[in-house]
Structure 1
Amino acid sequence: MPESPDLPPRVTLPLLDLIQRQSLDEDYLIAAERRAARTAAGEPVPPGSGGHPRRIAAVAVAVFGVMAATAAVQTQRDAEVRDEGRASLVARIDDQGARVSRLQARIADLREANADAEDRVRRLNEGEQALTPRLRRLGVRTGFTPTRGEGIRVTVKDATSGDLDGTVRDEDLALLADGLWAAGAEAISINGQRLTALSAIRTSGVPIEVNGVGIASPYTVFAIGDRATMQAALMDTSSGIAFDGLSRRFGFTYELQNEDRMSLPAGPRSFLLLRSAEQRRSDEQVPPKLEEEPL
């Protein structure tokens, strides 16, 4: 194995030994030069002067050691602080990452729920659009909504003779209404009272009542429908034929007239509100209980 070349002490010696040796060598050199100068000048050399540089070097080495130890301790503390700060930062990053993941999952769930809700709303809107025309037709036929359109007007008057038999009775108007329904009428009113499925035409004493409201002659009956065919269709029904026969027999008169446009009100509000109902067996079914709405 080849021998390594001689290296200078500053390369091979440890740092502290090198500093101490250099300090001591320089101190010895300075002390020797001072002593030689004093000897040449004939001045006495004080005893023990050679130890002063050595003490100075020892103090310098001690101070340097303290500084080095302090720096090492401080460096270790700084490293611990940095490690602790790094761990805390990593933990916070992990926590925030988990929170973001939860929020993203929540957002995905909300988007899915929102899509389902929008789909339900769309289906409900489609169902409502499909039911609206049917509801309108049912409202017209049952009297729950006001309506207008073409049709015929029938004016019925008591007999001019004043004979009691020539007075129009409730059953005469009911017969006329049945004939108009059979002739294709979509809505009927008598003296402004809309006929509904719950309407009643009856005599209360002398006057005739429709929907509980008294009316008097002349009786104006509006029927919305096809005005081109309704008059002829009325006279083809059994009710229409019977009504015409009673008119001829007892002397009350009626007049048919086509109308381009008529407006009929809705039925009474008391008929339009279902307050309570009970479910029964098929053999015990009764009409639903209705209560009049307070005015």
Structure 2
Amino acid sequence: MTTPTTGRGYRDSSGTPSLLLDLINNTADPGYAAAAARRGESNHSWYEQPLAALGAALVGLILVIAYLHAHRAAPQTAKLHAELVKRVRAAQLMNDSLQHDLLGDQAKLNALRDKSLPAAGQLRSTLQSDQLAAGALTTFGTGMQVQLAVTAAPTATQAARVGVTTVTDTSPLSDKDIRSVVNELWHDGAEAISVNDIRLTPTSAIRFAGQAVLVDFQPITSPYVIRAIGDSDVLVTNFADSEVASRYHTLAALGGITFDWSQQNHLELPAGSAAKPNYAAPVTPGAAANGSPKPTPSPQPTVSPKPTPAPTSSSPTGGPR
């Protein structure tokens, strides 16, 4: 018995129709092969390849010019950076020198005043009270210390463009955090406060410039140590129950910052720089007789003033203020 080789009902020896065999053996549709053949037969224009080569050459030329321009400007940028660093360091040295001279003049002024005023009396007591309130005297007493710090320094990465600060470069602590703690300590009964050994005065300002915290225009960095003089028991009790302490304990538990505080039996705060008034003037006896209000006597200080010693050397790093 023979098997037919042609015909619509063709089957192989196993009885499988030929259409199924074609689907299995020839998976690609014949139309794809026909389309590929038509594309191969089409004629390309003679200028297509030269245009492609010219475009590639132009792109390469642009990349080379950009590379040379960037590297040619690099030495000038480095030179400008070095010049700025040199100017900043010179300004810092000048500031340290002026600060040293100021401390020397203040020591001389205090010595002359102590010789002129009586050893005890209402005038000396009032003067010391006013100086303590203005932060013009070195002060010691009991109190508490609060420290805020960043656990990991921000990674110095290159910004996407000039003037842009990336998220990883942003510190989790800012001037608002320092102000929150300082204002809470004032509210809890502090009588004198310093931030990183910078004494706060009635005209002190805590600001944020770029990524730096400024206290009276002096930059400070983490850890931020805030010392407050006052009744240590009252300060610790009130601060522990405050919303500020609760907030920063929660933030410290989440990570990124550290927050701790402790009671101190002895603290010494440096004197601050006296601010020069621009509009305020003392009341003279003649003006008071003409109806001007008399100044209210300052309350007696509860913290102890400490005489300001004469400076012996200048600190190139700024030293304690």
TM-score range, shorter chain: 0.3 to 0.5
Task: Say which one has the larger Rg.
Answer: 1
Q: TM-score, normalised by structure 1?
A: 0.45
Q: TM-score, normalised by structure 2?
A: 0.41
Higher helix proportion: 1
